[in-house]
Amino acid sequence: MPVTIRDVARASGVHISTVSRTFSAPHLVNPETRVRVLACAEDLGYRPNRAARALITGRTHNIGLIIADIANPFFPPLIKAAESQARHRDYHVFVADTNEDPTTEEELVHALAKQVDGVLLCSPRMSNSLIEQLSREVPLVVINRQVAGLPCVMMDVGQGARAAVEHLTGLGHRAIGLLGGPRGSWTNREIRRAAGAAARSGGAELTLLGPNPPTVAGGGAQADQVRRSGVTAVLAYNDLLAIGLIEGLDTLGVRVPQEISVVGIDDIALSRLTRPKLTTVATPTGAAGRSAVDMLLQQDTDTPRRGVARSTASGDRRTTAQLMLQTELVIRDSTGPAPAAGRPRAEAAGAGPGPHRLADPGCPSAATGEVVAS
């Protein structure tokens, strides 16, 4: 029932190879024939079968997008941007969810390898060496992680974490908690490193709390621990943890930011909508998705057709660009001055010091990319 190239050939009275050329190399076919063929194709509703085409060209015009957790609000904007960018370039996108499981990640790369021209690995939890190994099977672009020799798109969460900690020390906080994210997260390590350094130079002590699942529930579960720990401010691995923590603290009767300040990372849409509005580090997720697709398809264009060995990680690292996208601290209402001594407990409701607002850039301007390696 589906109409094939043969149907079009028959209808327009030419050989199938002419029809083929009409679509894949129009300049090689007589203009008159071309319009006739095109007309017949249009008529019959012919669409080339991409899978069949891929069999011989080695180009599927599909890409894979492997995501830790689609339901985590950090990812949808990235998925949306990546899909949009891919489609503009005439690519379709497989999306798969790993549930934060490294084994599933690996399995998915294998499973998708044959039907895609490349895979975007989003916040992978597997080891770097495994990623390198997989990149021998199918072109990879890694998002939110740095892997030597592979194209990567990162967000400068280190810079963001530093800015966040400096913001807190500037407000007088000297005991700061760091609500860690999941194991295996590159982002988590970067945050820890940068926050630690910033705390040291700011004369503050950093208390590590984690690892935690990067969810609202994970944040809520740490509320009691945070209260006991004696910190007056917390930087969380992501906004969900931060929001969960604020919820949990609220339940315990601890006020944010009067008693404890909380900073998130990501600036998901949700952050503007909670009370208090969340101070957070905005990460350019849309730009990351778009750039990753561009890098993948660029790489794909450069690569000679099929039958040729893939580049190895240690081998010819042509234009293995690594892109570091800027982040930006967005100060809202969940951070304020450190309480004078200890934490006041029984102030009249609503009479405490109002939230301290240095500035609220609102929607941060589009982050600019910076190539850190090539």
Partner DNA sequence: ATGAAAGCGCTAACAC
Partner DNA sequence: GTGTTAGCGCTTTCAT
Least Cα distance to 86 among 110, 113, 54, 120 occurs for 120
Q: Does the protein bind DNA through residue 92 (CB under 7 A)?
A: no
The answer to whether 362 contacts its own copies (rule: CB under 8 A) is no
Judged by CB, which is closer to DNA: 203, or 307?
307
Both tokens assigned to 363:
């929607």
Minimum CB distance to its own copies, residue 70 (Å) = 4
Q: Is 158 helix (H, G, I), strand (E, B) or coil?
A: helix
Cβ neighbours of 197 (radius 10 Å) = 15
Contact 291, 369 (CB under 8 A): yes
What is the per-residue binding string for DNA in 9-48, x denoting contact by CB under 7 A? ----xxxxxxxxx-xxx--xxx-xxx-----------xxx
Q: Which is nearer to its own copies, 158 or 284 (CB)?
A: 284
List, in sequence order, every residue forming a beta bridge with 281; answer none if it has no partner.
Answer: 265, 329
Q: What is the DSSP letter of 52?
A: H
**Comparison of 143 and 338: residue with beta carbon closer to its own copies:** 143
**Which of 28, 55, 148, 358 is the binder for its own copies (CB under 8 A)?**
55
Is 220 within 8 Å of 240 (Cβ atoms)? no
**Cα end-to-end span (Å), the chain:** 50
Residue with tokens 């009691």, as numbered in its chain: 224
Residues between 110 and 139 that touch DNA (CB under 7 A): none
- Are the C-beta atoms of residues 268 and 239 closer than 8 Å to each other? yes
Residue 211, preceding peptide bond in cis (omega within 30° of 0): yes
| CA gap 339, 258 in Å, rounded | 7
Site for its own copies in 240-279 (CB under 8 A): 243, 247, 269-270, 273-275
Which of its own copies, DNA, none is residue 15 near (CB under 5 to 8 Å by kind)? DNA
The tokens of 190 are what? 């970067």
Q: Does 319 bind DNA (CB under 7 A)?
A: no
Chosen residue from 39, 42, 43, 55 binding DNA by CB under 7 A: 55
Binding site for DNA (CB under 7 A): 2, 4-6, 13-21, 23-25, 28-30, 32-34, 46-49, 52-53, 55-57, 306
Residue numbers of the site for its own copies (CB under 8 A)? 1-2, 45, 47, 49-52, 54-55, 60, 62, 65, 69-71, 73, 75-77, 79-80, 83-84, 87, 92-97, 110-115, 137, 216, 243, 247, 269-270, 273-275, 306-310, 349-350
